[in-house]
Amino acid sequence: MTRYAVALGSNQGDRVRHLRMAVDEIGRLGSLLAVSGLYETAPVGGPDQGPYLNAVVVVEASLAPQEMLGRLQAIESDHGRERTVRWGPRTLDLDIVATDGDPVDTEELQIPHPRAAGRRFVLEPLSDVWPDAPVADGMTGRDARELVGDQEVDLLLPTWVEEVGRGRVWVGAQLALLVAIALGLAYDGSLPGIGLEPLRLGGGLVLILGGALVLAAARSLGRGLTIMPQPVPGGVLVESGVYARARHPMYGGVVLGMLGVSLLLASPVGASLSIVLFAFFWAKSVYEERRLRIAYPWYTAYRSRVRRRMIPYLL
């Protein structure tokens, strides 16, 4: 049995789906030992193209290196890989980067991969799963990674092949917070009297602003509207309307709405919990944006253009 480290990359189509299916298909070639975290990197060389998702898997198989290469190339072909442009965009790229067997140096295959030791997008995920893998003569993946620290890679998810129930946990916590705010309002809130005190008047204005922001966000999202932090399957990145001014205006609108009601009812508990809700939505948006970057390759460019996270012109 031989241990292989296989680097995976994709920057076309449903990138994460290609990689998840490839992990499953590589696992059928032997025993899947480990799967690295999921990274996003800018393309190196070649024509103008979108960012890549990268990972490394370690598999133990009885296949000889040349046979393993043939099986990996067959998987690439099944995913529509075309070799028309060198270093061009691809649906799926699979490379053997290291092995615990003898080195290989043929016209078709070189192990260790001749460029692996100089590429952080290979070395970073490789160090997750096999840091002592030989990537050059007398050099391990861990050693080589120390030499390429100036290259940029971004860890999106430490665990990504199967995500079960995490989105539901976020939604459950969100609903619990909203219920807590409602109970707080019932506990110490009071209905407005005849007079319009400045606090209550301000609360009413904030409530109206929050409601308008929620409605504008829902209208822009359309069928893409979901309470889950993962984007809906087959959805598109919305960059128009209120989303041209803030990346998560729905969250900002809900926070403003809860804060407005709390001020309108003069509820200190409700106002305090609304601030907690703001912090929660901020954390949820960070979690959500990593999924959005996976679903939409150009999300990073959108985020650089739209600086406000939750409230247009403010936050």
Q: Which helix (H) or strand (E) covers residue 156, if one does? A: strand 154-157
The reply to whether 247 belongs to the active site is: no
95 among known catalytic residues: yes
Contacting residues for 156 by C-beta, under 8 A, at least 6 apart: 37, 38, 39, 40, 53, 290, 293, 294
**90 catalytic residue (yes or no):** yes
Q: In the Cβ-directed half-sphere of 19, how many Cα atoms lie within 13 Å?
A: 29
- Among 229, 222, 231, 218, residue whose Cα is nearest residue 296: 231
Question: Looking at 69-143, which runs of residues are DSSP E strands?
Answer: 93-99, 104-105, 110-111, 134-136, 139-140
CA distances to 30, 111, 112, 292 from 6, in Å: 13, 11, 11, 26
Per-state percent for the chain, helix, strand, coil, to nearest 5: 50, 15, 35
Catalytic residue among 3, 71, 81, 290: 81
- Bridge pairing between strands 31-35 and 93-99: unpaired
- Based on the residue annotation, tell me whether 93 is a catalytic residue of this protein: yes
> Could you give the 3-state DSSP secondary structure of residue 165?
coil
Which residues are the active-site residues? 81, 90, 93, 95
